[in-house]
A and B are shown apart, each in its own frame.
Chain A
Amino acid sequence: MRIIFKTSYLQDIKLLKHNGYIFWYGILLFALLIAPAVLGEFYIGEMAFIFIYAIAGLGLMIPVGFTGLPSLGHAAFMAIGAYANAYFLHKGIPFFISIFLAGLISFSVGALITIPLRKMTGIYFAIASLAFAIIVEEIIAHWKSVTGGLGGMSVDYPVIFGFELDSTWHFYFLCLAILLAVLYCALNLVRSPSGRAFIAIRDSEISAESMGINLSIYKIKSFAISGFFTGLAGALFAHRLSYLTPDAFNFLLSIQLLMMVVVGGLGTVHGAIFGAIFVGLLPQVIAIAKDYLPPAIGQFPGLEPGLFGIIMVLFIIFEPMGLYGRWVKFKLYFDMFPLYRKATFKRQKTYLKTERVQ
């Protein structure tokens, strides 16, 4: 068991708290960097997809996990980011500016939509955000001059400094770089005064207000930055799909994103990443399992969404902290070995306010 002797307040602020962090995350980063040289193209493509999900997950984690605003409409931000990026690339705008603009538009939409939604909480907020997503989907379907309407639009390859990113491993590194940048910002946000204000709003609006936190401003900030991250994810998603149609961003995507943060573990940055890995891998596992199952079960229509639903319910009942909660227990088991007690977490099965129906 590692005992950290604290001699400076800086140790509580640092992201990499001790050498163990540097060692393990260093190994992880190294593995991710050499992955394209080792793994086949299919796996690299799937990993890039997981990175995109993780970016969107980090975006969604900020309002849902930290500020306590349950959003059922994040597919809309993905859509806005995707279409904006595709449109700007068509206009010949360089990739980095285009993806940044896509994020920025999504940021502004996030800020604007929170203005009418800022007084709502719980299930009312969720339904209002769902309505927002449906409106965005309709606008995309009808704004033919920009989005190509229901016919859809194609997405050009990203070009960076005259270098066309047309192979899978190019795209893999692009997604990894953006994920790392977003991750860094999200971690900073959580340890900064804004992140604290978000958590305060989640846990008690009345006392957040009495501590001088302007509820409206911070809710808007939270949703806007979430829009920015999710918009970036959407822009990358556009390249992954390579052809955009409105039904790629229907509300099932919103549900999938929400499930990602719930299964990953609400209120933690780890949770977004774990959730993305889970949601990215599960369809593959199901596809492989199908071959071994009897046809009556394996070919059953709706097997995938059904399983997603069951897993989500099981997590909410047995592990409200999600995969991150499991991870913490797993780590503690080895930290305390052989003295781990099962009862350590017995009292801690609580729900965040986001999860309760208000």
Chain B
Amino acid sequence: MTFFKAENISIDFGGIRAVNEVSFDVEKGTVFTIVGPNGAGKTTIFNIISRIYNLSEGRITFEDKDITHVPAHQVVNLGIARTFQNIELFEHATVLHNLLIGRHIHCRSTFFSDLFFLPSLKRMELEHRRKVEDVIDFLDLQHYRNQLIQNLPYGVRKIVELGRALCTEPKLLLLDEPASGLNVDETEDMSFWIDDIKKLLGISVIMVEHNMKLVSQVSDHVLAINYGRVLADGKPREVQENPDVIKAYLGEDKDV
């Protein structure tokens, strides 16, 4: 059984093929990183997996289930949670509130019980709060619990977004540039957390990241793409030394 498998996925925007026959497998309990220059199609792959875009060709399977045509709001029900490159938090709500929205798929309440806040709902709400507090403890967010997102610095928002994804209790976490905009210390923290997420929580991770230090610290497997095509696929070191990858990032050596 493969955990996560993308087979020949392609997507066209008008005449432009943004992702071209990309295939990869992710094994359970590993960190899989996608690298590539800007515009290579990394985030597009994420948007395909979270079903914001429809595939033109190819197939995606998760735990042997075809998820190519699952509606976008049901992807998280399968156990795939994601974060966004440009932070998509609920700005006029508190950190706690944002994390509770992460529990949405576990909220089994009817509209009627919501309107009258029946005792069964109260019990469930307390249970969700307990789960959210676990995530708050895990990510050291206690200090920010009741602050509005719009008042928080960028680095903290990034962590809140990670926390919100963790609150859904995923099996697979998609992290879109988790370290972008973070300073050296925060990036270091992020690499520890990603490691903890893998080892302590047993969640597999697919990550898009530019910071090569972070990539080599936490990844088990790296996929390099450019112009929507696969350049290299392997261990972090192998990919970093691949001549095609070096060419894509640094350009070609020409004898003058």
Contact = CB atoms under 8 A, between A and B. Distances in A.
A210 B165 CA distance: 9
- Consensus secondary structure, chain B interface: helix
B77 A212 contact: yes
B125 A214 contact: no
Interface string B51-91: 01000000000000000000111111100011010001111
B101 A197 contact: yes
Given A196-B101, A221-B111, A12 B129 contact: yes
B151 interface: yes
B226 to A, nearest CB: 26
A contact patch SS: helix
B121 interface: yes
B93 A199 contact: yes
Contacts of B88: 204, 206-207, 210
Contacts of A200: 90, 93, 101, 104
Given A188-B116, A200-B90, A204-B90, A212 B104 contact: yes
A174 B76 CA distance: 46
Contact of A215 (B73, B81, B89, B150): B73
Interface string B121-135: 110011001100100
Contacts, number: 116
A208 B52 CA distance: 12
Nearest to B77: A212
B151 A185 contact: no
A210 B122 contact: no
A10 B104 contact: no
A46 interface: no
Interface in A159-191: 185, 188-189, 191
Given A199-B93, A212-B168, A192 B104 contact: no
A12 B128 CA distance: 13
Interface stretch (A77-85, A231-239, A344-352): A344-352
Interface residues of A, number: 36
Contacts of B76: 210-212
Given A13-B122, A192-B114, A212-B74, A207 B90 contact: yes
Given A10-B126, A13-B122, A199-B97, A193 B89 contact: no
Interface string A237-267: 0000000000000000000000000000001
Contact of A9 (B50, B111, B126): B126
B109 A192 contact: yes
Contact of B150 (A212, A214, A348): A348
17 contacts: A12-B96, A188-B115, A192-B114, A192-B117, A196-B97, A197-B104, A199-B101, A200-B90, A202-B92, A203-B91, A203-B93, A209-B52, A210-B73, A211-B76, A211-B104, A211-B105, A212-B75
